[in-house]
Amino acid sequence: MIKVFGHKAPDTDSTGSPIIWAWYLSEVRKEPAVAVLQGEPNTEAAWMLSKWNLPKPEIIADVAAGDKCVIVDTNNPAELPASINEADVIEIIDHHLLAGGVKTRLPINITIRPLACTATIMFDLMGEEAYARAPKAVKGAMLTCILSDTLEFRSPTTTAHDRWVAEKIAGDLGVSIPAYATEMFAAKSDVSAFTEEALLRMDSKEYELGGKQLRVSVLETTAPQVLLDRKGALMAAMPAVAAADGADEVLLFVVDILNEEATLLVPNDFVRQVAEKSFNATVTGDTVVLPGIMSRKKQIIPALAV
């Protein structure tokens, strides 16, 4: 059985894309496959599973030597199971930069395209005939992934093709994109049940900057004040989270989906220096608003400097 999985701390795309591709492998290619996760899905991803009556995939801690695996929505070893290079990786489908470091036993199919969402790539790879065969739940997962990764087409990562695919799927499902996205983002914004530590890890990536290991965390929301009201507790939790995860600092960006801006929490002089040098900002307190900043992949990570 082929295991299909995305990155640690699975967001909507890393929850939905394994489901989509496991269906395609099993039903179209006739290669039995199962979607698995590296952690609990976030609130929006959990909402997607409930909305489309999709069972939550099994959560795995690692892979074993010889396990057949397909990696989706990442190619970064830091975001993959510890034993990934002992497994038998047979395919990678991703839309992030090529990180390097994954070893394979044989030549494999690797598809990395500059699109906003892995699900968009999967739509293209499976072709019209297979897409037409997909059950509504799989199409619903595809739509949710694309709207999530593009923030309903607000993110600068959005391409015309992402929009076209989303609009086609929405039309096939009879779904109003604005109404559907409003439901999605409401689910994404409901973080009342999460501890500060969980929020800091919910949607985060590891990144090295100036010899320091960073955990760059993003929380996308339509209700940023709910999170900013917890900024004291969030900043107080950062040192312990960084230490536990082998990082030097945690950078937390609260992305306001509707106003299209990010607020960076500034707990110390290092983060202040990063904010001022990276975003040409002037920091006068423990937060700084960054107008137009929406995408970690395209606007935050490439800009980081010390």
| Geometric angle at alpha carbon 91, from 90 and 97, rounded to 5° | 135
Does residue 121 sit in the same domain as residue 200?
A: no
CATH number for the domain spanning 277: value is 3.10.310.20
Does residue 52 sit in the same domain as residue 86?
A: yes
3-state secondary structure of 297: helix
CATH number for the domain spanning 97: value is 3.90.1640.10
Give the tokens for residue 82: 């510890």
Mean pLDDT (whole number) for 220-240: 95
Does residue 114 sit in the same domain as residue 178?
A: yes
Which residue, of 136, 157, 187, is where some domain finishes? 187
Q: Can you give the pLDDT at residue 32?
A: 98
Does residue 49 sit in the same domain as residue 146?
A: yes
How many domains does one find in the chain? 2
Does residue 207 sit in the same domain as residue 164?
A: no
For residue 78, CA distances in Å to 1, 25, 63, 84 come to 24, 26, 14, 10
Reported as a single tens digit per residue, the pLDDT across 156-215 is: 999 999 999 999 999 999 999 999 999 999 999 999 889 999 999 988 888 888 889 999
Q: Can you give the pLDDT at residue 210?
A: 86
For residue 190, CA distances in Å to 12, 221, 223 come to 15, 8, 9
Q: To the nearest whole number, what is the mean pLDDT of the chain? A: 95
Strands 88-94 and 68-72: parallel
Does residue 25 sit in the same domain as residue 121?
A: yes
Distance between CA atoms of 38 and 59, rounded to whole angstroms? 6
Give the tokens for residue 185: 């983002």
Does residue 16 sit in the same domain as residue 150?
A: yes
Does residue 155 sit in the same domain as residue 252?
A: no
Reported as a single tens digit per residue, the pLDDT across 21-79 is: 999 999 999 999 999 999 999 999 999 999 999 999 999 999 999 999 999 999 999 99
Which residue, of 167, 187, 207, is where some domain finishes? 187
Domain range for residue 138?
2-187
Does residue 142 sit in the same domain as residue 171?
A: yes
What is the H or E stretch that residue 207 is in?
Answer: strand 204-209
Q: Can you give the pLDDT at residue 306?
A: 85
- Closest to 225 in 3D by CA, of 266, 202, 191: 191
Q: Can you give the pLDDT at residue 265?
A: 97
Does residue 204 sit in the same domain as residue 107?
A: no
Does residue 170 sit in the same domain as residue 265?
A: no
- pLDDT confidence tier of residue 278, bands split at 50, 70 and 90: very high
Does residue 180 sit in the same domain as residue 203?
A: no
Would you say residue 134 has pLDDT above 90? yes
Q: Can you give the pLDDT at residue 186?
A: 94
Mean pLDDT (whole number) for 128-141: 97
